[in-house]
Structure 1
Amino acid sequence: MTYGQGALIVAACCVIAATMGFAAFRLTHVDLRRNHHEVGGMIFLQVGVVYGVVLAFVFAQVFEEITVASDAVNAERGDLHAIAALASALPPDSARALREAIVGYVDAVISEEWPAMDENREESPVARARFNRMLLVASGIDVAGGEAAAARDHIMDLLLDAQASRATRIHESGNGVPQLIWILLIGSAVLLQLFVVFSGTEYMYSHVMFSTTFSLLVSSILVVIALMNYPFSGSMRLSSSEFAATLARVNQSFHDAGRSAELN
């Protein structure tokens, strides 16, 4: 969902609510609505409290999913950057092969996997294959011991951490609010809106204003939840800029390693 679509949904809900409020005021006598106001008010308060609790829970859950996805992205790119830095302790050929594998993977994440998570909410086979290539290159590094061996072991640990963060990122890309919850939220909102529409308000302008205001608040919250629903989709999706920054740093390490080899 885009911001424009969300704004249109909120505007449409307000127009419908105002129209329903106006129609209810014109077609039903105020005394008839007042006769049911006491019982209706009690039901509205009870249902409203339950709805507010459910709405707050869903909002908190969606926000937590975005936080988890963002943390996974930061952890994965941090591990990759650390691996590229540790590669300087490896033999030149091994360091070059590992950095090339990292560049290939990060490039696939930006160009292939991010659009796949946005459109299909799934991983990219190309990115998965390139990550496996990184693991293969790192596990195939042959060093006798000392600093290079310690660096290789640390790189393998970081790769395993990056793999776990990647799995979390892929999982969160398809982890949204279930359809049944959406039906419950929207259906309850419509029910509560009807209580407001048929309330025993004496003046027409106040009646329409109350109906419109209630619709504005509830529909706005639901739209915000929809915008945040999938961490890598919609207008509020997480950006791939962090991976782009990691790619730039790894390329810079390539450049620095090449200059160092020329000087030596």
Structure 2
Amino acid sequence: MLMHFLMYLVPILLGTMGALWLGARFGRPWSPQDEQKQNFEHVTSLVRMLFAFTLAFVVVLVWQEYQAGQKTATAEASALTEVNWAALELPADQRDGLRQRMIVYTHKVIAQEWPAMQDKLTMDTDTRNAWDDLRRYAVQLPTVDARTTDFQHRVLTQLETAGQARRERGNETQSGLPSVFWAGLLVGAAMMLALPALWGTRFTTRSVLFLTVLATCVTGMLFLVGEMDHAFSGEISVPPTAFQELLDRLDRLS
């Protein structure tokens, strides 16, 4: 993650320092009573306030997006866990058939679908086929007696809950921050860095240090937002922990 962050930070720092040098080289220095300096301070204060408001709003949005993805993944795995417990009361052949298909599906979610969500922001076709096979098998289970029918109904109910969570996970995989928010963040960040650099600031150690810290903080926040933009993609994303725990439980009971 650090190298990824530095890939963004270094060119931004170079651009900011170049803008500072140009501003110091060709800009007009401030005089103590310069009216333009006062106007500049008003403008930069307004830009900082708008950028801070937009950034705070966006951080809340992406954090809620992350939590929603985590909740959805946990709900799907929890529903499949309930399927497993209900299947314990079914005849041995039905129980084993369900469990084997759940193991195949869960393994594909971890090994194939999660990487597809990470890299391509899409669900995996092979995993979807495994899910369809699990659902098809559960629907076609033969009825033996009233007690078995009751547990088969529980299995189908929990599979429907898991299916709804899976659909929500697919939607959350593709959803992200609206482009208008990204535009506001990028324009605000550019103004935050360009205004002090270009408006006659002297090229001194103090100004260089100030803009370096400012550029690092702004870049760091934008990098954080970008990594959390999609709940199942990026360095900061929802891990398949719930499905790994489910797979471990299924393996122990097999």
Matches within 5 A, 1:71-82: 71-82=71-82
Summarize the alignment of residues 100-179 of structure 1 with structure 2, pairs less than 5 Å apart.
Answer: 100-179=100-179
- After TM superposition, what 4+ stretches of structure 1 lie above 4 angstroms from structure 2? 32-35, 199-203
**Aligned counterpart, 2:194:** 194
In the TM superposition, 1:1-264 aligns within 5 A as: 2-31=1-30, 34-199=34-199, 204-254=204-254
Structure 1 residue runs of 5 or longer lacking an equivalent are: 255-264
Question: What do residues 33-66 of structure 1 show as CA deviations (whole Å, max 9, x unaligned)?
Answer: 9542211211222222122111111111111111
Q: Go from structure 1 to structure 2 and tell me whether the alpha carbon gap of 1:31 and 1:47 turns closer, same or farther (over 3 Å shift).
A: closer
Distance 2:24 2:213 in 1: 16
The amino acid across from 1:11 in the alignment is V
Q: d(CA) in 2 for partners of 1:251 and 1:163?
A: 22
Cα RMSD (Å) of the superposition? 2.1
Q: So what's the TM-score if we normalise by structure 1? A: 0.87
Cα distance change of structure 1 residues 194 and 35 upon mapping to structure 2, 3 Å threshold: farther
State the Cα distance separating 1:162 from its structure 2 match: 0.5
Tell me the CA shift for residue 145 of structure 1.
4.1
1:31 counterpart SS class: coil
- Which deviates further from its counterpart, 42-51 or 222-231? 42-51
Aligned to 1:260: none
TM-superposition CA deviations, 1:240-263 (whole Å, max 9, x none): 243122112112112xxxxxxxxx
Letter in 1 for 2:243: F
1:203 deviates by 7.4
Question: Which segment drifts farther, 121-130 or 60-69?
Answer: 121-130
Which region of structure 1 is more displaced relative to structure 2, 234-243 or 195-204?
195-204
Q: Distance in 2 between matches of 1:134 and 1:104?
A: 9
User: What secondary structure does 2:122 align onto?
Assistant: coil
Which segment is superposed worse, 6-15 or 49-58? 6-15
TM-score, length of structure 2 as denominator length: 0.90
Identity of aligned residues (%): 20
1:182 aligned partner, one-letter code:
W
Unaligned runs of 5+ in 2: none
Provide the C-alpha distance between the structure 1 equivalents of 2:89 and 2:252, rounded to a whole number of angstroms.
16
1:31/1:200 contact within 8 Å kept: yes
Stretch moving more, 232-241 or 31-40: 31-40
| Residues 35/83 of structure 1: CA separation in 2 closer, same or farther (3 Å cut) | same
Conserved 8 A contact 1:18-1:209: no
1:11 to partner: Cα distance: 3.1
- Give the paired residue count: 253
